[in-house]
Amino acid sequence: MRKFREFLELHAFGVCSAIGEKLGIASSRIRMWFIYISFLTMGSPVIIYMILAFWINIKKYIYSAKRNPLRYL
């Protein structure tokens, strides 16, 4: 089960992990509350999750492009 969770955290954009690191809260708690809120609001937080996932991936690409020495060749 632990390997499955690590796989999901790595490949599911890590939005909850990133929020947890910023706020100092365990990512499992954030996931739990995200699920609760999704059920209560009929899934509308999924849109926010996708926007945050997109933003995190774009930020990774921007930072990796700045540090890439082969970019300027």
Q: What average pLDDT does the structure give for the chain?
A: 76
Total tally of structural domains belonging to the chain: 1
Region 21-44: mean pLDDT is: 84
Range of the domain at 34: 2-72
Distance of CA 38 to the CA centre of its chain: 16
**The pLDDT value given to residue 58:** 78
Rounded Cα gap, residues 7 and 72, in angstroms: 34
DSSP state of 42: T
* Residue 10 in tokens: 């790595």
Rounded Cα gap, residues 37 and 57, in angstroms: 24
**The pLDDT value given to residue 60:** 72
